[in-house]
Every structure is written in structure tokens, then in C-alpha cells.
Amino acid sequence: MKKNDSGKEKNVTKQQKKIQDAFKYKREVEIIPAKVSDLSIQKKRVAAYCRVSTYAEAQSGSFELQIQSYKEKILLNPEWEFVGIYADRGASGTTIKKREHFNRMLNDCRLNKIDLIIVKSISRFSRNVLDFISITRELKALPNPVGVFIEDLNINTLDTTSETSLLMLSIVAQAESEQKSEAITWSIIERFKKGLPIIPTHNFLGFTKDRFGKVVIEESEAEIVRFIYKNFLEGVRAVDIASLLNEANIPTASGNQWKSSSIYRVLRNEKYFGLVIMQKTYTVDCFSHKKKINRGEKPKYLLRNGLPAIVSEDEWNLVQELLLNPRKGFKKKAVKNIEKPRIFVSTIKSGVFKGFIVIDAKWSKEDVAEVLSKGEHQQ
């Protein structure tokens, strides 16, 4: 028994006694040094990861500069072996799902092809805290641990003291993404409030944009929209309308075969009589990028006569009645006597060849001449 400062007795446990004896009666302990790994003698296999979030011309220079700088940096280091540059362009840093080269790089790490990854900053690697921590921990736990060197911080994730600092900095990167997402959402909503909709037309049947960016009717496609509405109102089933269009070799706006579902999408789209409903969907968060149908969770904004009408409002309303109650008032019409559209002229709506006509190889010389003459008159 041993007395403490207050005069009370205190029990000494067996573990305490052992430790006290180990320091009091020193023992001879032979230390066997750790084996030096062959990997430390070999050159370190190094890769670099680069990313920009858009295809904008302003970012293309930054993207190429990253690629060339890292390639030169790795090749000039005599202790490094160049594995490659993994680069994603037009990819968000808030998720890894759509980053093809990033995922290929991680897989090469798992296959023991990489020892070190160089990246410009945490935000280039990931703006999602959970992704950043889980990935760096996975790489650290591999049989051959892989480090991520954050260049602007001069930190390697394999350093034992780095994780706390990197966690705090990745939280900052995530917060920046959240603020940027909120700012973009705010600007879009303000546009909606002022009656300025965002209407992409590259996959929108019946519409295109002129050289000033104004949405205008693409007449050859508008004829297909009118064909769909006219025949549906006359009692032709959606599946039969789809078959007629496929037989006439007329593709959907995205270049696919027509189905009943694609016919119904045209029939339900209020934009065809000029009504634009904004914020029909909304993004849940900036990390999952998941979109949900707006069922009243967010405000909607209606702009009447926001587009030139292809069909009348009365036609559209009548179609909606039939869609709700298809047996009401109309007999199903046989399709054998329906005249199919003879020539469909597809025009490229975006990119370098915007405005060019796509010539169908099945057209006769007369058909081509007819199409070209129509194009000249339209100019």
C-alpha cells in the first residue's frame, strides 16, 4: 500500500507495478531494424490529375496548361517515373460519377500502377468532403499506399499529420461549391421572374434558334408536330402515329425511332401552343445533381405567348381531354389511308455546322433539288 498526498492509501495495480519494474530493472532488448522496401529504391510512379468544369474557351487554356506543366514536371524529376496525365474536361468537382478519367485513375491505383498523384488543389480533386476523405483513405489503405500531393498546399495525404488540415480545407472547397450553386440558382430564378426562360432547342422538335439566339419555328419539324396533333385528334392511336413516322424514315429530335411514349411527350408539351412553364423540375443539391419533378415544392413561373405557336391552344386543350379520357367522342381511325410526310428535311441546330441541311441518301435527285430550292427561297 502507498499513501497519497491527502494521507489516504492507494492500491498499485499489477500493470502499474510491471511498468515501474521495467524502468527500475532495465532489460536487454535487441532491436531488429525494419526491412527497406524495394519500392523506396525504385523510381516513384507518378501521375497527375487535371480538371476544368466547362468546355468554355476561357478554360481551355488553363486545362492545356495544367496538362503540359505536369507532364514536364514529372518527366524532369529523375526520381519519378511518368505514368500519365488523367484529365477531365467539362466535369463537375462535386461528384465523381461522370468523371471518366478520374475513375480510370483510381482503378489504376487499385491495380498497383501508381504511387503518387499530383493535383493543383483540393477543389480540382473533389469539392465533396465525403468523396475526398473516402478516396484518400482508400488510397492510403491499399497494399501499396498511394499519396495525393496537393500542390498549392504542399501537402501529401500519406503524411500522418495531414488529414485534419485537409479535412478542414475540403470543407471550405465544398462550401465554395454550395455558394456557387446557390448564386447560379438565384440568377436563374431571377430570369424566370422577368420572363426570360432558358430553352435549349438542339433536341426540341419544331424549334431552333436564329443567329441572335431567339427561338423560332423550324418549319420542316413543325410539320411533324402538326401531323402528330392532327392525326391524334382524328382518332389515330399514338402507337400508329409512331409507326407511320418510322415508316417514313423520320427520326425523333434526338435521332431515335418513334415510340408511343415519344408521341405522348409531344402531345403533352404546352410549349407547342406558346405557353412556357419555368421550373418544372429542380435540382435537389449540387452534389448528387439529381433532378426532381416540381410537384409544388418550388414556385413555377408561367409565360404566355413565350414561344411562337405551332398548334392552337384549343387544339392542345382538346388533346389533353382525349389523353385523360381517350374513349370520349372519337372513333379510332384506320391508318392505311393516311398520307405520310414525303420528305423530312433535318437541319443541324448547333455546333460548327449549324444551319446546314442533312441530305438523306435515299432521296432522289429530284427530292434533293426540291429541298435545296426550298432552302434558297427561305434565305
- Distant-in-sequence contacts of 179-186, Cβ < 8 A, 24+ apart: 180/286, 181/285, 181/286, 185/283
> Is the pLDDT reported for residue 40 higher than 50?
no
Taking only the tens place, the pLDDT of each residue in 282-291 is 776 655 567 7
Residue 140: which domain range?
46-174
> Is the pLDDT reported for residue 378 higher than 70?
no
Taking only the tens place, the pLDDT of each residue in 72-97 is 999 999 999 999 999 988 776 567 77
- Predicted pLDDT at 159: 82
Tell me what the mean pLDDT of segment 361-365 comes to: 60
Helix (H) or strand (E) holding 21: helix 14-24
Are 247 and 325 in the same domain?
yes
- Predicted pLDDT at 80: 94
> Can you read off the three cell numbers belonging to residue 154?
504542399
Q: Name the pLDDT band for 177 (thresholds 50, 70, 90).
A: low
> What CATH number does residue 134 fall under?
3.40.50.1390
- Predicted pLDDT at 190: 82
Residues 6+ apart with CB under 8 A from 35: none
Taking only the tens place, the pLDDT of each residue in 217-276 is 888 888 999 999 999 988 888 898 998 888 888 888 888 899 999 999 999 999 999 888
Are 232 and 155 in the same domain?
no
Are 214 and 309 in the same domain?
yes
Helix (H) or strand (E) holding 118: strand 116-119
- Predicted pLDDT at 19: 76
> Is the pLDDT reported for residue 298 higher than 50?
yes
> Is the pLDDT reported for residue 214 higher than 80?
yes
In a domain, 291, yes or no: yes
Q: Which residues of 48-73 are buried (b: 16+ CB within 10 A; e: fewer)?
A: bbbbbbeeeeeeeeebeebbeebeee
Are 221 and 320 in the same domain?
yes
Are 249 and 298 in the same domain?
yes
Cα–Cα nearest to 71, from 102, 48, 51, 52: 48
- Distant-in-sequence contacts of 360-368, Cβ < 8 A, 24+ apart: 360/249, 362/249, 367/343
- Structural domain ending residue among the three candidates 174, 191, 219: 174
In a domain, 304, yes or no: yes
Beta-bridge mates of residue 156: 149
In a domain, 134, yes or no: yes
Are 107 and 224 in the same domain?
no
Helix (H) or strand (E) holding 319: helix 313-324
Are 160 and 85 in the same domain?
yes
- Structural domain ending residue among the three candidates 126, 158, 174: 174
> What CATH number does residue 289 fall under?
3.90.1750.20
Are 60 and 160 in the same domain?
yes
Higher pLDDT, 24 or 293: 293
In a domain, 187, yes or no: no
- Number of domains present in the structure of the chain: 2
Are 141 and 227 in the same domain?
no
Are 169 and 211 in the same domain?
no
Tell me what the mean pLDDT of segment 206-226 comes to: 87
In a domain, 52, yes or no: yes
- Predicted pLDDT at 16: 80
- Is the pTM here over 0.85, yes or no? no
Are 257 and 158 in the same domain?
no
Q: What percentage of residues in the chain have a pLDDT greater than 70?
A: 71
Q: Name the pLDDT band for 331 (thresholds 50, 70, 90).
A: low
CA–CA distances in Å: residue 254 to residues 202, 346, 357 = 8, 11, 16
